[in-house]
């Protein structure tokens, strides 16, 4: 199922980063793209530049998701939207955890619930879920984020079981560090925070770019009908998961 099999796509997290880049690629490919994000100004600019159809809504609001997308025919669903919070479960707040569960996992479940039946009925569709190496490997901090991304990993596997015998493809994109705004948002999102995050996480590193992620999605979607690209773990060459800590009590 190459791009010629599809006509419509829905992309979350479209106002910045990987979502924004994916919308641009899909419109270049000739798809009608529904772009979803909370930032009305950025989304409007993206729509003006690409012809995408903007949907300004909070993905934590299930009622809004149902109102907006029930009955819509979507061939490709790309779940990019995600939030993170610094720290582990010991210093997490209720709001931190609720945001991560609702956006990183809940919104994906609800969108799939609403849109997948139509794909099954048409015997045609592709779901792309963005997880993270945090869902496959354990390292310090961001415990709630790790947990929600691990759930996305399992969900992506399970969807293949739920649709066996139908021409539904599911791809999990599992990236390491990508140059996006998520690090700056962790520390407030101000111009000063963006600059501090750039110096802390990107200066001197060869991180992945949004183009790297979009090219991977492009490959998965443009693969032949017989081929499902299930999991793509994409990491910077100089970034590796690993390490083992054994703490000796004094």
Give residues with Cβ within 8 angstroms of 74, minimum separation 6. Answer: 8, 9, 10, 34, 115, 118, 119, 125
Give the neighbor-by-neighbor strand order of the sheet with 231-234: 53-56, 32-37, 8-12, 76-79, 125-130, 168-175, 231-234
Flag the least confident range among 22-36, 147-161, 174-188, 216-230. Answer: 174-188
| 191 pLDDT more than 70 | no
Q: Where are the domains of the chain?
A: 3-181+209-232
Average pLDDT, the chain: 92
Unique residue bearing structure tokens 């880049």: 21
Backbone φ/ψ region at 87: left (φ over 0), alpha (ψ -120 to 50), beta:
left
Q: What is the mean pLDDT of residues 157-173?
A: 97
Q: Which of 3, 6, 137, 145 is catalytic?
A: 145
Distance CA 165, CA 233 (A): 26
Q: Tell me which CATH code domain 3-181+209-232 carries.
A: 3.40.50.720
**Distance between CA atoms of 139 and 213, rounded to whole angstroms?**
22
What is the rounded average pLDDT of the residues 36-58? 97
What are the angstrom distances between the C-alpha of 121 and each of 110, 117, 151, 166, 192? Answer: 18, 6, 26, 9, 49
Nearest residue to 148 (alpha-carbon basis) of 57, 85, 232: 85
**pLDDT at residue 184 tops 80:** no
Known catalytic membership, residue 145:
yes
What is this structure's pTM?
Answer: 0.91
Per-residue pLDDT for 214 more than 60?
yes
């Amino acid at each position: 199922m190459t791009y010629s099999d599809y006509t419509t796509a829905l992309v979350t997290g479209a106002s910045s980063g990987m979502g924004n880049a994916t919308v641009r690629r899909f419109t270049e490919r000739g798809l009608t793209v529904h772009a979803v994000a909370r930032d009305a100004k950025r989304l409007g600019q993206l729509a003006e530049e690409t012809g995408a159809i903007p949907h300004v809504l909070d993905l934590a609001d299930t009622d809004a998701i149902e109102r907006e997308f029930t009955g819509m025919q979507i061939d490709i669903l790309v779940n990019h939207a995600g939030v993170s919070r610094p720290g582990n479960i010991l210093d997490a707040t209720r709001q931190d955890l609720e945001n991560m569960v609702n956006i990183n996992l809940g919104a994906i479940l609800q969108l799939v619930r609403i849109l997948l039946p139509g794909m099954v009925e048409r015997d045609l569709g592709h779901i792309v879920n963005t997880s993270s190496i945090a869902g496959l490997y354990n390292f310090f901090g961001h415990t709630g984020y790790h947990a929600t991304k691990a759930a996305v990993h399992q969900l992506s596997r399970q969807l293949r079981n739920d649709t066996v015998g139908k021409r539904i493809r599911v791809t999990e994109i599992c990236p390491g560090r990508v140059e996006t705004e998520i690090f700056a948002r962790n520390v407030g999102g101000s111009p000063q925070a963006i600059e501090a995050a750039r110096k802390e996480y990107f200066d001197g590193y060869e991180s992945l770019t949004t183009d790297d992620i979009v090219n991977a999605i492009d490959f998965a979607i443009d693969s032949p009908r017989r081929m499902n690209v299930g999991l793509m773990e994409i990491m910077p060459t100089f970034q590796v998961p690993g390490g083992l800590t054994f703490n000796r009590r004094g």
